[in-house]
Amino acid sequence: MPFDECTITLQDVAYQLGLSVDGLPVSGCLIDFEKLMEDGRLAWEWFQELFGKLPPPNKVKQFTVHFTWFHERFRVLPQDATEDTVQIYARAYIMMLLSTQLFGDKSANRVHIRWLPFVARLDEMGSYSWASAALAWLYRCMCRVANRNVTNLAGPLQLLWATYLPISDFREERVIQCRLLLDRLGDRDIVWEPYAALEVDRVLPQLSGVQHVPDTASNIDWLHAKDGRDGDRWFSSYYQVWHLSWQNRVDAVLSVPWVANPRLSAEFLCWWYSVAHRFLSPDLSFADPKVEKITQEAIQRGSS
């Protein structure tokens, strides 16, 4: 924004979606699935064992099943359902939820069988950090949609907005107005602490702290370029260093001193004015009402 950054955090995911932050990393692979399935088990044989039936060939594409097959087969739980039947329906519901709501692609109509190892052991579902996986996938999708040739956005979009807007109703005009609204925001227009405290280096006002110049982030350019479709690699082993980093996440938690009025320090504002793309609108769209001047209040802030 013109004055600072704010972002969707793990806290937002935990509060809004009810997902666990702490736990094991969610990992696996996307292609050559059968080579890596546990115990050398063929993926589709395991699928039939877990769901009682294989989908017809016209509902299968590589390692995905069309959503309609799951929806039609598992939409209503039979009244005389046994405990085993309930387990099957629970697996199907979770598979649909993971593939279309949390980790869906832009089509949002295919269910990926990469989730078989997770739904096979329903009792262990709560031991994974689903919140961090969902947030990472959303960041990944937002990064991709920033490319000029990408027009649709995937991921858990309920974290971005709560109201659907039709795409054919004055879309260009709405985009211009939204940009202007964002460009005219001031730091006092933001509800910085909607919940409680959490630890993120770049968005400390959201966590009741004074924003300082953020530390240099870990270089993940090589990892960020991967999309999971580049060979028969089991990510848990191939990305072992990053899994270890996640396991030691407690060592990276920041201590954020609480202040009654979390605003911006002069040090941060000087840095922000020099590096940020502060406005979305073209220069001629509006006169910038925010003079680039560090206020006395900001100069005094955070000095202790």
pLDDT tens digit sequence for 175-218: 888 888 888 888 788 777 766 444 456 777 777 778 888 877 77
What pLDDT shows up at residue 160?
A: 83
Q: Is the dihedral of CA 211, 216, 222, 223 positive or negative?
A: negative
Which of 114, 120, 116, 117 lies closest to 137, judged by CA?
114
Of 134-148, 158-172, 175-189, highest mean pLDDT:
134-148
d(CA 209, CA 220): 27
pLDDT digits (tens, 9 = 90+) for 83-117: 999 999 999 999 999 988 899 887 778 998 889 88
pTM (two decimals): 0.65
Within 98-242, strands assigned E span 110-112
